Amino acid sequence: MEDYLKAIYRLEERDEIVSMQALAGELQVSGASITNMIKRLSDLKLVRYEPYKGATLTESGRKIALEIVRHHRLLELYLSETLGMPWHEVHAEAERLEHHLSDELEARLDSALGHPTHDPHGDPIPSIDLTIEGERGVNLTMIEAGRCGVVTRVSDRNRDQLEYLGSLGLFPGAQICVRERMPFDGLVRIVIGENEREVTLGPALGRQVLVEITAN
C-alpha cells in the first residue's frame, strides 16, 4: 500500500490525475492488480478514484506518501554520506529499507545527518511535519547557450545513467555553463566545474539534470 501511495505521489508531480496505465507502468504490475489496490485505498479514504479517469491522493494518503519519501531520502543520504555507498546504488537499497524505519530511528538519522533538506541527488527531503520544498532549477536541455548555473538535482530513476552522470562530475552543487546547443539532435555541449571539463550530452541524459541559472 505504501508503494502505491508513493508512486501516485511521484506521478502527481507530472499529472493532476494519475491514470491506471501510468501507475501500472510505474510499479510494473498488472492492470487488474492496480485496480484492486486502488479500490482498497479508496475504501480507506487514502485516494480519490474516478473510474476511467484515475486516482489522486487524499490529504491522509499524501501524508503517508510523504512519510515514506522522507524515510527513503534520509536513508539515501545516510547510506551515501555515512557508509560511503556510491550514489547510484543507494536508491535500490533505500527502497528495501524505507518501510521498516521506526519513528525513533528516523529521528536519530535526521539528527545525525544535521537535519538535512536534500538527499544525495538533490531531491528535497520532507520535513518532520511533512512539508516539502518545490524543485529548483530548469531542465538542462532548455538552457540557452552562454548561460551558466548550478546543478540542483539529478534524477535517480535510472541507475546506469546516474552512475555515468556522476562520473562526469554532475552532482548537485556542480557549476556548469552551456557552450552550445546543437541543431536537430538536441545535443548540448557544456563545461563542468573549475577545471571546465567539456562534455556533450544528448536529450535523454540532459533531461535528468536540473540547473538553477546564476549568470551569463
| pLDDT at residue 144 greater than cutoff 70 | yes
Q: What is the pLDDT of residue 66?
A: 97
| pLDDT at residue 195 greater than cutoff 90 | no
Residues 6+ apart with CB under 8 A from 96: none
Q: What is the pLDDT of residue 31?
A: 82
Q: Which domains are assigned to the chain?
A: 2-57 (1.10.10.10), 138-215 (2.30.30.90)
Query: Which one, of 167, 168, 140, lies nearest residue 153 by Cα?
Result: 140
Q: What is the pLDDT of residue 215?
A: 63
How many Cα atoms within 13 Å fall on the side-chain side of residue 82? 13
Give the pLDDT mean for 158-164.
96
Alpha carbon distance 47, 112 (integer Å): 34
Residues 147-158: tens digit of each pLDDT: 999 999 999 999
Contact assessment for residue 43 and residue 10, using Cβ atoms and an 8 Å cutoff? no
Contact assessment for residue 209 and residue 123, using Cβ atoms and an 8 Å cutoff? no
Give the pLDDT mean for 132-149.
93
Q: What is the pLDDT of residue 216?
A: 59
Q: What is the pLDDT of residue 198?
A: 96
Q: Check the CA dihedral 111-116-120-124 and report its sign.
A: positive
Q: How confident is the model at residue 184 (pLDDT cuts 50, 70, 90)?
A: confident
Residue 152 corresponds to which amino acid? T
Residues 55-87: tens digit of each pLDDT: 999 999 999 999 999 999 999 999 999 999 999
Query: Where does the chain have alpha helices with state H?
Result: 2-12, 20-27, 31-43, 59-77, 90-97, 103-112, 159-167, 203-206
Residues 7-52: tens digit of each pLDDT: 999 999 888 899 999 999 999 998 888 999 999 999 999 999 998 8
In a 10 Å sphere around its CB, with 0-12 CB exposed, 13-18 middle and 19+ buried, how is residue 7 labelled? buried
Q: What is the pLDDT of residue 105?
A: 96
Give the pLDDT mean for 130-150.
93
Q: What is the pLDDT of residue 73?
A: 98
Give me 206's grid cell. 540532459
Residue 7 phi, psi (nearest 5): -65, -40
Q: What is the pLDDT of residue 106?
A: 97
What's the mean pLDDT when you consider all of the chain? 94
Q: pTM above 0.95?
A: no
Residues 88-113: tens digit of each pLDDT: 999 999 999 999 999 999 999 999 99
